[in-house]
Structure 1
Amino acid sequence: MITDIQDTANSRSVRAMGPASSGSVGNARGLAKMYAAIISDVNGRGPLLRAGTLAAFTKLHSRGIDLVTGERDHCLLGFEAQHIRYPFLGADAFGHSDAVGAQAFADPA
Structure 2
Amino acid sequence: MEIIEALLNLEVLKLGSVYFDGRTWNASSEFPKLKFLKLSHVDLEEWNASSNNFPSLEGLALQYCKHLKMIPSSFGNILTLQKIEVYRCTRSVNESAKHIQEEQEDMGNEVLEVIISHW
TM-score tier after normalising by the smaller chain length: under 0.3
Q: Which has the larger radius of gyration?
A: 1
Higher strand share: 2
TM-score w.r.t. length of structure 2: 0.24
